[in-house]
Amino acid sequence: KAGVTQTPRYLIKTRGQQVTLSCSPISGHRSVSWYQQTPGQGLQFLFEYFSETQRNKGNFPGRFSGRQFSNSRSEMNVSTLELGDSALYLCASSMSPGYNEKLFFGSGTQLSVL
Amino acid sequence: DQQVKQNSPSLSVQEGRISILNCDYTNSMFDYFLWYKKYPAEGPTFLISISSIKDKNEDGRFTVFLNKSAKHLSLHIVPSQPGDSAVYFCAASGNSGGGADGLTFGKGTHLIIQP
């Protein structure tokens, strides 16, 4: 069974631009979560989607948004990029939402904002 | 305010010995705890979990202990092997009534197993 696939693997953008990251969950998994990893803050929860609906959102500004499609694939978008948005963005999938569901992570998209 | 703390950024252990990784939490609503392992350039992979109704969970060489009164958990790896060298993240979750709030992660401990 294929794992969680994230594209692109690396991305370089400049301040003020916007970016879209993509995530394909494990087949059969319907819940997708996004996390931001930075050296200073560790992994921080961005949002979770299930059945095309955002279930929860972490403490991030409105520049960070996401969506989920009917095939469970998900995208996240960051608008008006700032230098501090440079991070590894990780997508995770699970069978269903739930606070004790085991998450399966992709390898991430490394975003660098110049 | 960090709700999940891993106070040791790194830990060096000799091969064959026991590795003990520690984690403290402050939110009393957390009732499910997980450990993830991360190699460079890869996403975290699930290692072991424990519910707050237990104080110990074991899976092969890995054992997690939970002390609810101290709000402390630890991961024991016995015996430590070179392939265990990685960053270990402690994570916690709890149903705060409004649905899942995602996992809250610590900043990680880099475990180095020395031959």
pLDDT tens by residue, A32-58: 999 999 887 788 999 999 999 998 899
- Above pLDDT 90, what percent of chain A? 80
Q: Is the pLDDT confidence value at B97 over 50?
A: no
- Above pLDDT 70, what percent of chain A? 97
What pLDDT, on the 0 to 100 scale, is given for residue B94?
79
What pLDDT, on the 0 to 100 scale, is given for residue A100?
67
Residues 17-36 of B with CB under 8 A from A: 32, 34, 36
Q: Is the pLDDT confidence value at B101 over 80?
A: no
For residue A80, which of A59, A65, A63, A58 has the smallest C-alpha distance?
Answer: A63
Mean pLDDT by 10 residues, chain A (114 residues): 91 97 95 90 90 90 96 97 96 82 91 96
**Terminal-to-terminal C-alpha distance of chain B:** 38
Instruction: Over range B41-61, report the average pLDDT.
Output: 93
For residue A111, which of A93, A89, A90, A96 has the smallest C-alpha distance?
Answer: A89
Residue A104: list chain B partners with CB under 8 A.
45-46
Quote the CA–CA distance of A65 and A79 in Å, as a whole number. Answer: 8
Quote the CA–CA distance of A43 and B17 in Å, as a whole number. Answer: 29
Bridge partners of A47? A34, A57
DSSP strands (E only) in B1-115: 4-5, 10-14, 19-25, 32-38, 45-51, 56-59, 62-67, 72-77, 86-93, 104-105, 109-114
Quote the CA–CA distance of B94 and B101 in Å, as a whole number. Answer: 7
The CA distance from A97 to the nearest CA of chain B, in Å, is 8
What are the distances in angstroms from CA A25 to CA A50, A62, A66, A85? 12, 24, 15, 23
Look-up: residue for tokens 């969680």? A4
The answer to whether B14 contacts chain A (CB < 8 Å) is no
The beta-carbon neighbor of B43 closest among A44, A45, A106 is A106
| pLDDT band with cut points at 50, 70 and 90 for residue B2 | confident
Q: Is the pLDDT confidence value at B35 over 90?
A: yes
Question: For A48, which residue in chain B has the nearest alpha carbon?
Answer: B102
The answer to whether B101 contacts chain A (CB < 8 Å) is yes
Eight-class DSSP state of A96: S
| pLDDT band with cut points at 50, 70 and 90 for residue B99 | very low
